[in-house]
Structure 1
Amino acid sequence: MKILIVDDEAPIKDYIAHCIRESGADYEIVGSAASGVAALRIMEQQPADLVLADITMPRMDGIELLTQIRSRWPQATVVMLTCHDDFSFARSAMQRGAADYILKSEIEPHTMRDLLGRVVERRKREHPEQIVSQRISFAKFLDQVLEDPAADLLDRDTVRAHLMGYMLHDYFVCLFRYNKAVLDGLALANFPWIRRQWTLPLENGGIFVLVDFVCGMSAGEQQRRLAEFSARVRACTDEPVGISTVYHDEAAFKRAALDARRDQSRAFYRGADKQPRADVNDVDKEAMYKQLFVYRNNAITALSVRDWPAFRDQMDGLFALAGERQVAVGRLKRLLCFIAEMAADSEQATTVLLAQIVSAAHLEELRELFREFSEKLEKSGQRYSENIEMAVAYIRKHFRDNITLQDVAGAAFLNTEYFSRRFKKEVGVNFSEYLLTLRMQEAQRLLRTTALRVSDIAEQVGIPNVSYFTSVFKKQFGTTPAESRKH
């Protein structure tokens, strides 16, 4: 518990500080002030959990100070110090929100220890909901900060509000996936050079740690302590850990968080061998993400027609691009989860696959996961009901012709409306999308293996309108037919 002492008599302040130190290591004196005005300045810099304030002081007395603190820092506890054994003083203080009062003449190490114990118990009773609510609010704020692509500088007052009035000085950020061993290791470390630490859960199962150094440390000492912290965390887990450099401005809070996330991403792409790779140069992110989505769409297309070699080719391309450009790990995993939801043939299999994607510690682990999964799908044999198998076979045989939904429903011996619903449920895409996918795959094959003109290929795959064919092809593969042939 962090304590601020406020009294205009220096010997009394020193004696109170002595009694607090004698009460044990659970209590830390963060400052002392000779007036209410000075106390408020300290609270703005370093909010205390407990304020011990003299009632009678010049300029701003203890009662006015109490009123200001209760208004601005409602989570703080205030105990009044008085020389007067007069209940009217105590009543006035208690009416304004003081938690307790103590006569200065009664202050001794054992009475201070008892007082501090009562304050701790009171705070446990009164503040759990507020503390939990504040932590939830801070965690939501962190999720928004990490996902927001807007400017990387934040309003200082916004940051302080989420830190319950605390002002950051020299700080760093650490990110890792939830790991009890890491959390226990940090708790046991009890680093004396940490002035304040926040440990909060993120929406994606990650843990966010914000550490503020004690004042007065040199830059070199901060770097040594940062390395000490890093070594402690990384010794407890083989999963990627991200740690930012030291920052000195609250407005750069988002930069620190993103710095830690980039460091975690680099650890993810280094792989299990933990060999360092050079940082990726700045690239055209829009083009990169566009290509990732092309791979994703092509993989889903291959799934829908059960073309397993094509599926594996697309996934290999996706992983190669992600590794080369070191795509943000969270974004990569969300993209893979989308594919997994399309790929898994049962709710249970989907749940398992999604959990494996989220918990993967390295890129190679994800690559192997999808390779094994596609092999299982390929070996599982028939995936559709008998009627839909008949429909799929009919489409694959006649996709070059001008076939209709009614034609395929008839081949499956089902009425059109029921067939349409059943096909979408089992195959994952509707009839027209499936038909178009087959035509585009055949067009791509012809472009790469023949010298036929684009118009002739469009005719052969059942889309004689060249303009429409070109538009659909580009939407499907991200390039025009002519560009695809060059590659």
Structure 2
Amino acid sequence: MNILIVDDEAQIRRWFETLLQRTGLDINVAGACGNGKEALEFCREHPVDLVITDIKMPVMDGLQLIRQLVERQPGVRSLILSSYDEFKYASEALKLGASEYILKAEVTVDGLREVIGKLQAQMAVERRREDEVHSLKSRLNENRYALRAIYFKELLKGQPAAMREFRDKMIWLDVPLSDKHPMLMTVSLDDYPSCLSEAKIRTPELLESAILNILDETVRGETGGGCSFLYEENLFVVACNADGFGGKSIRDKSLRCAHRLSNNLREFLRVPASVGISEPYPDLSALGRQLGEGMEALRRQRFYGKRNIVWFPDTKLTGFGEPSQTAYAIVSDIAYYVETGSYDEALRALHACMDNDLRAGELSESGFKAFGLELLYTVLQKVRKLDPQSETLARYQSFSPAEELNRLRTFEEVKAWLAGQVAELLREAKRLRPPYSEPIRQAFRYLAASYAEDISLQQVADHVHLNKTYLSELFKKETGISFNDYLTDVRIGKAKELIRAGEARMGALAELVGYPNASYFTKVFKKATGMTPLEYKMSANK
């Protein structure tokens, strides 16, 4: 117990401090003041449990001090030092809220011990009651939050009974929320594990309750209603009505509300949080979709390493959720490099696209992972043609790339994983790819120089001085593909280069790469790449 002695006579203050020390009680004389004003200032700046004060003092007397303490610091007890002729004042002090009074002329160590001991016991009982009330309130709050979460989860699943009971449930749960024009905001703490160690409240259960309390108060202050609930670990959902924003656009108002939610969590609990905002819908039937919108908005920003407040409609960009034509063009290019043995070029192309085209955030998390799987399986298929029995490739029979990708949470993690997988496959391709014989190398050089002409297998056989049938068999054995397929790959690869460089008109392109007419060239190009030349040009120019 911390005690403050207040009397205008220094000698009495010292005498009383001596008496207190002789009681043997677990007390601490925190200070001594000469009047009530000084005592008030001391109590504001220091922890004080009991003020022992004289009544008659200059500046501010004991009665005024007690009145001020009751109003400003009701947790501080007071004990009056009274003379016989001051009893009426002592009586008034008790009415004001003083805990006890003692007569100066009759103060003894034993008497003082008894009075203060009694006050200590009373304060201990009150503290226990306060703890019990606080504990009961906490349990009630926990139950209230739990019941609220159970009901809203049923509502999000579209349970008919939950829909019908909405208005009655809102009354029962004491939630000011209408079934018209609902909106959802998803709230998630950034860097959750480290967040727990830096928050003002370190116990997860208590932190969750504090977060829900702040979210409730903030959304009601901004919209006049609404509530929050815990959907799953580190994912809180705030429900409100778009009607509550009024005035400016719903987007601007909801963004302001989301920023308040995030700022209040940071200010009061020292936890950083991101918020995803759904679109408003006319009624409760789209709540499940709204939850998906909020979660997707959060995932998209988090995946690319951003911490933000996200309005879901702002994420509706080209290619949202699925790999775009640009992504498929990249897969086609890399497949071509692998087939022709240009492994270093394949790896450079992969890094370039992930550092530039895809890093811009055109794809959602699921879209980028789908691109990664498409690329990995395409490269794997090309490498398997070199040796289907390769021990290195055999691990893919039990290895699930999709499961690996699902465990990755950010663009950088997926990028590093994908680059590592492709690099390993390309190293295996280098090891498996046999050195070409001189006739095949001569054939390569001839085709590279003459691809724009009307080349036949017989012409190449004559050039390398081999029988046509033998050359065909040797070519297939060493390269893994037929002569005609290789020539097609060379011509299509050159066509891609010309399209990307913009050096040829689309009408003249067929002739430049050895095809008799544009119609046939377009047919071959689409079969090889999955796109027409014009579609490839458009995707390459994005």
Q: Normalised by the size of structure 2, how large is the TM-score? A: 0.42
